[in-house]
Every structure is written in C-alpha cells, then in structure tokens.
Amino acid sequence: MTQRAGIATDGPDPSNPAATGHAAAEAEAAEAARGAGSMPIDAGAELDPVHPVPPPAPRRRHGGLSAGEVAERVARGEVNDVPVRSSRSVGEIVRANVLTRFNALIGVLWVIMLIVAPIQDSLFGFVIVANTGIGIIQELRAKKTLDGLAVIGEVRPTVRRDGTAAEVSTSEIVLGDLVELGPGDKVVVDGEIAEAESLEIDESLLTGEADPVLKRPGDPVMSGSFVVAGGGAFTATKVGREAYAAQLAEEASRFTLVHSELRGGISTILKYVTWMMVPTATGLVISQLVVKDTDLKDSVARTVGGIVPMIPEGLVLLTSVAFAIGVIRLGRKQCLVQELPAIEGLARVNVVCLDKTGTLTEGGMDVTEVRPLNGADESAVHAVLGALGASDPRPNASLQAIVDAFPAPADSAARLTAALPFSSARKYSGASFEEDGGETVTWLLGAPDVLLPPGRPEPAGIGRLNEQGLRVLLLARAAGPLDSPEAAEGTEPAALVVLEQRLRPDAADTLRYFDEQGVAAKVLSGDNAVSVGAVAGKLGLPGADHTVDARTLPEDPAAMAAELESHAVFGRVAPRQKRDMVGALQSRGHTVAMTGDGVNDVLALKDADIGVAMGSGSEATRAVAQIVLLNNSFATLPSVVAEGRRVIGNITRVATLFLTKTVYSVLLAILVVCSQVEYPFLPRHLTLLSTLTIGVPAFFLALAPNKERARPHFVRRVMRYAFPAGVIAAAATFCTYLLARSHYSGPGALEAETSAATLTLFLVSMWVLAIIARPYTWWRVGLVAAMGLCFVVVLAVPWLQDFFALRLVGTVLPWAAVGIAAAGAALLEAGWRWVDRRQPA
C-alpha cells in the first residue's frame, strides 16, 4: 500500500448538518459531479446493496412538506391518528370490572335481599361494590403509570418539513410527509421510497419472508417493516387506519390480557363453578321455598345465603389488583410492561437468551489500538479509516468509535463513489474511492474471519486479543468492485482495529441472580465466539470457557437444541439463526426470554415467549418486545422476575382460599337439599366469615413479598388443596349443625343452631388460612391473630351479636363445635402434608 495524503469524500461532512446548506449553484454542481461518477448497481446483488454516490447529499434532495401544507392536511383530517395505547381505556377498565356475569348475579340477589331482609343480610352487596371500586382504582393507577412510561419510550420518527429534519410524534405524521429512515427504524405508515442509500428493509413480520428487501426510489414500503441496513426517506401515502399494518400495530402496542396461565386457569375455574352453581342453586331454591314450610322471607334469605358464597367473586379482582400493583412497582423502576402477562411470563422463564452488545456491554466503544499489517503506513491507515467513517451517515457503534478516533481528512482529492453499510448478515461494511489518477480503490472493514481469504492464517495477535474480550476488526483492500457478491474474496489485509467494549456494571450481579434461580443464561452474539466468551467470563457466566461458533451448529432443530442445552456462549450468530435457536429451545419445552437492542434481535424477540428490549435500542426491537427497560439497565430484570413470582405465588395462595369457600358452599347446599333441612346460614353470617377468613387476609396475602419459584399447572395445584379442604370444612360444619338440631328446641333454636355451625366453619376456615399464610412472619401471624380476635369481639359484644344474629347458647354445643372443628383441622393438616409430598416440583 502506498502512502497518500489521505482519502475523504468531497461532499458535505455527514457529521455536520450545517455543511449541507450549500448555495443552489454549488448543489447543482455537486449533483452533476455525483451523477458523472456513479457506479451502476448489480441487479443480482440483492443482499449486498451498494450505494454508488456519496450518501450525505441525497438526504437533502427533497425538502418535504411546508408548514402550510401540513396545516392543510391536518385540517382535512389526513393525519396518522391511530391511537397507540399502552393500556386499556378508562371505559374498558370500568366495563371489565363492573360488567361480569357474577356481578350481574350478585346484583340481582342483592336487590332481592334489600327488599325482603334486614340490611345486615345485604352486606355482601356493599362488599362487592367496594371490591369493584378498588379494582377500578388500581387499574387506573396502572394505566397512568403505563401511559406515562409509553410517552417516554414512544417512537418518534424523523420527518423533513421545510427542508429541516425534526422528530415528531407518530400521530403527527400527515399524508405526504417525508419520513427519514435509518438502521433499526420502524416504518410507521405506508409509503413510497423517495431516497434510498443502500436501503434494506425487513418485511418478515408482515409477510413471513425472511430475506431483507433492497429498496429503490419508487418502491412501496409497508408499515410494520423495519430497516436492517442503509438509509433513506419515504413519502407517506397512507396514514391512520388506512395503513397496511395499522390494526396489527395498534393491537401489538396495546395492554393485553392474553397468554396468561393465571388468567386462563381462573377462567377455567369460573366456568366449572358456573356449571356447579346452576343445578345446586336450583335445588336449594326448591328445597327452601317449596319443600320447607317456613317463613317466606326467611327462606329467601337463607336461599340467597346459600348461593352467594358459591361465587369466588374476589378472585378475579385480586388477580387484577396484583398485576396492576406489579405494573406500578416496575414503572417506578423505568420498566415499561407493554403486555400485562409478561410479568407472569418472565417469572416462568427457565432460559434467558442475551445479546452481548447493548445488554451485557454498554452501547459505546473505544478504539484502543490500530495495528498496520503487511508494511502499511500508519498515517495512511488512519486516513482510510477516517474516510470510511465519513462514508456512512448512520454509523453503528463500532464505526462510530472509529469516527470519533479518526476524523475524516479534509485535504484529500479522493472521491467517494460507492458505499456499503454494515449489516449483521454480511458482517462487514465498505466504500470505494476514486483517486487522483482515476484508479478506484475499495476498502472493507469487518470481521477478520469473514474478510480473510480461505486457508490464509489470521494475523498474529488476533486470538490473544479475542481472549481478552476485545473486538477486532480487519481493514482490508478488496480485489474486486464493491457491488460484487464476491467483494470479500481475495482481500489484502491492511490493518487491525482493536475496540474495547464497556461492560455493564450490573451485568455480573444479574447473571449471578439468574444462576441462583435456576434460569439458564445463553449469550447469542454476532461477534467472534472467543471474544464473546471472554466478556461472559469476566461477568462470571458459567460455561463461558466453552464457546461455540454458531456457523458450526447443525440445522436440525433437535441437534441444535442439544448443543444449546450443553453450551452457554455462542458467537457469529446470524439474525435468522437467533430465531432458529429460540425455536429449538422452545421445542425442548423451555420457556425462553430474549433480550436485545438491535435490528438483528427483532426476529428472535418476536418468537421468544418473552421479549425484552432496551430503551435505547432500535424502534423495531421496542415495538415487538413485551417489556422495555427504559433505563437500559439489565439489572431491572430480576425485579420483573420477582414481581412475576410474587403475583403467581400469591394468587395461587388466595385462589385456594376462595375455592375452598366455593367447594364447602356447594357441598353444604347439596347436603341441605338431600337432608331436607333449613340452610344453616343467613347471608350476614357468610359475609362475616368471608371477610375475616378470606377477603381481608387475601388482600394482604396477594400483595405480600413472595420469592417462591413459579410452577406450572395452576388449576391442578389449587384444586389439590381447595377440594379436600372444602370437603372437610363442609363435613365438619354440617355435623355440628345436625348435632345442634338434635340438641336445641323451642323458640330461638334455629339461631342457636346457626351460631354453633358458624363457630365450626369459622375455626376450620381459620385453620385453612393459617396453613395458607405459611411460612410465618411477624405480620402473617399478626394477620391471622387479628382475624380471630375480630370474631371473638363479634361474639362478645351484645349489639354485634344482635347485628349478626350470633349467640352461643349453653356450653355443651359450643365446646362440641370446637371439638369437631379441631378434628377437622387435624384432618386438614394431615391432608395438606400428604398433598405437599405428592405435589410435583
């Protein structure tokens, strides 16, 4: 390589926007010069597009709409008014909490009780109103948090108006706007390409076609696609709901309630409860109103008292509240949950796939060393690097470090004739320059193992640098033209460029947390495998010393999954391969989370069970991810896992309480119908029991800290506990009731019988609560004790005795009720431990 004064473009400096403001004559002259020096694009090089002119100039070829034209279009309603929401609307929240089948049923029963019975038998209605209000308030708080975070993380496209580029909200784009595009940008409306600078667009999320499409001026572009390489601008031709992917985009950005095992399980439970309720309630109504010859109002009250506790009305409420509180807590940590079940989903993840750059390392890099090769002159190498940096108006992190270290020389007569932007699939970038004598020189910058000719030994020292976790790029002179598919063949190495990546200070602790929690971490990077392993080793990742070059992985999903399960660090992973690796892990039954920030992560993020994007990442990654870390802190993930585990563990606990009540209520109704006796309880009795043994404790338990590992099969796990507990509670209560019926007689006998049965049911239910509250802490013990004390107060205070119609008569039956409850508690304890031993881990 001969030494030259320097190589640089003769167009405006892309890093200096002001330099583009030439006079009209200068612009026309520059345009003519560019046209004369252009190189034709090879039509067969679809995956290696080359821009034949200096990139900066075409970016200002169109000035966009004027302010007046924008105002006219706004007045005509030609605005991109698709509502992009991170949460449900206020109306949807109110409807979801109020208009439920159980609220309708309870509302009818409440109206009946207000007509035929004292107000204390209608307390259950006021409790439902309060619960519904709490649910609405908590979801509105979560909505406020989500909407505020969505504004922070909102995609703001760059629109050119009056010749000036500025970021605007997506909803402010009007028909005819000129929208600029760069690597990682998401296409937000349909349009037509106006400017193209080696523009490659991935439309796989819309069409399923994996290969990126090279776009030229005049080509259509669809909303929902994203840029993988190059840049340019397009004119908006369809906005708002007319855009191709408007509905898909709106749904993808919306706060959703799908794909949740908790919600699906609760829906299944409620379906079965409804089926059980209908025949049981019908039999109870007939038994109490037709067969028994008793007071009509008292029969109606006892009938309603038998129906209401069958409904687990607070279970859905507490699930919504638990999720909403989780959203609010994570929002305080700058974590945007774009889909509510993502909190639950991440807690169930057992494999997390990490992209190195931007996740384990910070986005920026520094050039630490340049090593000339084959006798190349160092100053000439610096000049070439400066020219390469100036050739790309949207440099990636590696090229930006070179731009910072080697500004473009200003005194070179060499002219840029073609530019090739970096892409993850190609793993190199390049540019061609025409020098003084008319000779065209092509330079490539990329991965050494990609640019070196086959069989040629790599330059000395690369292996050692990779082992230190440094990124190494090779500057090489190409033998052929830049637009050739074989541009990387026959290159002549000129220099090694050594880059140092900045490790995230919190990455090591986060990886350690996942290891302790039994979550396998897999690093999937496009960088050299040895270098990636060195970075992972510095962070303490288990298995970092056995790295795998992904180019050697088998294509068979089963064989690939075996390799993935036995190794932790993979280098030279292509974007499409990341998606295949996620699918291979899922085929083995793993629940997979994928983190990333670049366009090469989009496909894997979309296919993973949970996608986590960095707030500073590309628009495309943020659009497809369920969780966005707005503070770019990898250390936030343990908080998300902890919230998910809290929700899953606590809802499992409280669901057991609610369904135990449903089971014993249904069984008591069946026993009453079969025995042809009065139903033992009025609504006021069961309202008191539900409040003290379920309602108040469940609210505290649902929001308490919980670090239990998430386990599958929610419905099966809950019913294994709730069904035997409900059977024991119903049997013990009915035994006490029958014993009391044979013991008491005369006026007030029914009240005494009810009081004895209530005492047994309360004590058995309290034991269920005591088991659910384990492991004990001071506040859990205090909670159980407080509920017991409240019941004692009701039995001891005369006006409360009258209000709840509870009066223990004599000593024989009350103590008999206590003895029966103690026997039931012993059975509960034995049965609970037996189920625990048989419960799968």
Catalytic positions are: 355
CB within 8 Å of 544: residues ≥ 6 apart: 523, 533, 534, 536, 537, 568, 569
Structure tokens at 730: 């119903």
Structure tokens at 398: 């590696």
The CA-CA-CA angle for residues 39, 41, 43, to 5°, reads: 155
**Sign of CA pseudo-dihedral 572, 577, 579, 581:** negative
Structure tokens at 687: 């309202």
Residue 500: helix, strand or coil by DSSP? Answer: strand
Cα separation, 33 vs 162, whole angstroms: 26
Amino acid type, 67 = A
Structure tokens at 454: 């086959």
C-alpha of 379 from chain center: 49
Q: Are 58 and 455 in contact (CB under 8 A)?
A: no
Cα separation, 269 vs 267, whole angstroms: 5
Q: What is the 3-state secondary structure (H, E, C) of 688-702?
A: HHHHHHHHHHHHHHH
Burial 814-824 (b: 16+ CB within 10 A, else e): bebbeebbebb
Phi, psi torsion values for 179, nearest 5 degrees: -105, 125
Sort 558 into a burial class: Cβ within 10 Å, 0-12 / 13-18 / 19+: exposed
Q: Are 390 and 408 in contact (CB under 8 A)?
A: yes
The CA-CA-CA angle for residues 651, 652, 654, to 5°, reads: 60
**Nearest-10 Cα torsion for 675, 676, 681, 682:** 170
Cα separation, 108 vs 260, whole angstroms: 31
Pairing of strands 178-181, 158-161: antiparallel
Phi, psi torsion values for 178, nearest 5 degrees: -100, 110
The CA-CA-CA angle for residues 466, 467, 470, to 5°, reads: 45
Amino acid type, 478 = A
The CA-CA-CA angle for residues 3, 51, 198, to 5°, reads: 130
